[in-house]
């Protein structure tokens, strides 16, 4: 029975010593294994994972390793468990923790900075200077679960209390996995853009962050909110989440269409969520003079950018990493108030045992999949269900 010294548990939520966990072998290869249930240290809790969403970044990590950095290098064949968009129930408290109680439902954000570097001290823990240093004699205590430490495609995980967001019972497990996605959009808009109600926003790329970027911008009072993309079914969901206008860039010139929709002028902000090769140059031509562009997507290749236009027009470019400055708490506040319905982007739920199928749905966008969630409990595995 799980009873590590100094860790508080409850007989109401008994914890096994071992758990199921998916581990990454060679690139693209996931295996279901058994691991010991991890033990929370000071300022950490043990979370029973109730639901975890698959992110495009997980697919990237599983196939290519980057941007995960585990034990100082690529995460392959190191018994590493990916997955970072999870929620669950607090089941054990590490030493010194009284901020959360056992049995409390929470969702998590990814990055727990080291707390001792310059950026962490400034509140920019997603830009921690000790990123990935959490092992051996370089242990700075940094964690980014599913990137630099074990993640959520398993039954239990430890999380620093600073990465927890309490959620109400009115929020479903599936919806709670989307708080971190909305939090990423919120980080881009509030911390880097400084959006004031009534200002105009373009979101490029209707992936999960882009779609929730539309929702957050609208909830913050932006007008107009314009979404650009290539797929009409995604643009339609963008409309449902609050886009005032949508532009299909296959049939229209995106820059011209945006300028026309905003009365011939450029917009105040662009949130670039597409990662397309021409996206940055298009974005800087969509904003007005002095406008701001937030870069939230990782492009695969280095891309040429119209620097002269940026300088001549005093345009600001911001790269954002993850969901910093506690933006997840503000995103959760919007979602709890039902200012937008994030569940519009959740399309499928599978059992944790069916993770490879779930990943295939996410990767190949089978059945118009957007956010695919896996759950350790309450969902019958397909193999079992088929028998």
Name the residues that contact Zn ion, by CB under 5 A: 55, 57, 113-114, 117, 120, 128, 130
Closest CB to Zn ion among residues 226, 335: 335
Terminal CA-to-CA distance of the chain, rounded, Å? 33
Q: How far is the CB of 191 from Zn ion (least distance, A)?
A: 17
Torsion of CA 127, 143, 165, 118, to 10 degrees: -30
Choose among 229, 219, 184, 242: nearest CA to 339: 219
Q: How far is the CB of 150 from Zn ion (least distance, A)?
A: 16
Q: How far is the CB of 77 from Zn ion (least distance, A)?
A: 23
Task: Give the span between the Cα atoms of 349 and 379, in whole angstroms.
Answer: 8
Q: What is residue 3's three-state secondary structure?
A: coil
Cβ contacts of 363 within 8 Å, gap of 6 or more? 59
Task: Give the span between the Cα atoms of 106 and 86, in whole angstroms.
Answer: 9
Task: Give the span between the Cα atoms of 58 and 306, in whole angstroms.
Answer: 31
Residues 225-264: b if buried by 16+ CB within 10 A, e if exposed: bbbbbeeeebbebbeebbbbbbbbbeeeebbebbbebbee
* Degrees, nearest 5: CA angle 194-196-202: 80
Closest CB to Zn ion among residues 222, 359: 359
Closest CB to Zn ion among residues 19, 114: 114
Closest CB to Zn ion among residues 180, 201: 180
What number of CA atoms fall less than 13 Å from residue 280's CA on the CB side? 22
Q: How far is the CB of 116 from Zn ion (least distance, A)?
A: 6
Backbone angles phi, psi at 55, to 5 degrees: -110, 155
Q: How far is the CB of 19 from Zn ion (least distance, A)?
A: 22
Q: How far is the CB of 251 from Zn ion (least distance, A)?
A: 30
Q: How far is CA 158 from CA 67, 136, 144, 222, in A?
A: 21, 18, 11, 37
Q: How far is the CB of 141 from Zn ion (least distance, A)?
A: 9
Closest CB to Zn ion among residues 234, 285: 234
Closest CB to Zn ion among residues 148, 262: 148
Closest CB to Zn ion among residues 114, 243: 114
């Amino acid at each position: 029975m799980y009873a590590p010294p100094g860790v508080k548990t409850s007989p109401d939520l008994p914890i096994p010593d071992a758990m199921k966990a998916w581990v990454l072998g060679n690139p693209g290869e996931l295996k279901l294994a058994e691991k010991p249930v991890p033990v929370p240290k000071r300022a950490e809790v043990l979370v029973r994972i109730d639901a975890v969403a698959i992110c495009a970044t997980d697919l990237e990590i599983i196939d290519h390793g980057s941007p995960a950095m585990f034990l100082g290098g690529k995460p392959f064949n190191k018994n590493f468990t990916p997955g970072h968009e999870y929620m669950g129930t607090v089941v054990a408290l590490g030493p010194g923790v009284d901020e959360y109680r056992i049995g409390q439902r929470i969702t998590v954000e990814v990055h727990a900075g080291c707390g001792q570097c310059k950026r962490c001290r400034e509140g920019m823990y997603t830009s921690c200077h000790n990123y990935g240093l959490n092992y051996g004699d370089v242990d700075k205590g940094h964690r980014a679960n599913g990137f630099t430490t074990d993640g959520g495609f398993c039954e239990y995980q430890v999380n620093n209390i600073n990465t927890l967001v309490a959620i109400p019972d009115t929020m479903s497990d599936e919806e709670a996995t989307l708080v971190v996605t909305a939090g990423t959009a919120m980080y881009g808009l509030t911390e880097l853009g400084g959006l004031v109600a009534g200002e105009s926003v373009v979101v490029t790329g209707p992936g999960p962050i882009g779609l929730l970027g539309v929702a957050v911008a609208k909830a913050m009072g932006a007008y107009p909110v314009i979404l650009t993309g290539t797929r009409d079914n995604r643009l339609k969901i963008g409309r449902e989440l609050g886009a005032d206008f949508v532009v299909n860039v296959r049939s229209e010139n995106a820059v011209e269409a945006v300028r026309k929709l905003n009365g011939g002028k450029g917009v105040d902000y662009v949130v670039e969520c597409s990662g397309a090769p021409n996206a940055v140059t298009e974005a800087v031509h969509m904003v007005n003079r002095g406008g701001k562009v937030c870069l939230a997507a990782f492009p695969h290749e280095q891309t040429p950018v119209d620097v002269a236009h940026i300088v001549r027009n005093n345009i600001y470019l911001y790269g954002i990493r993850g969901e910093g400055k506690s933006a997840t708490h503000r995103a959760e506040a919007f979602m709890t108030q039902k200012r937008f319905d994030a569940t519009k982007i959740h399309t499928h739920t599978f059992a944790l045992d069916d993770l490879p199928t779930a990943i295939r749905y996410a990767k190949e966008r089978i059945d118009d999949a957007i956010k695919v969630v896996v759950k350790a409990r309450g969902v019958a595995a397909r193999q079992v269900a088929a028998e």
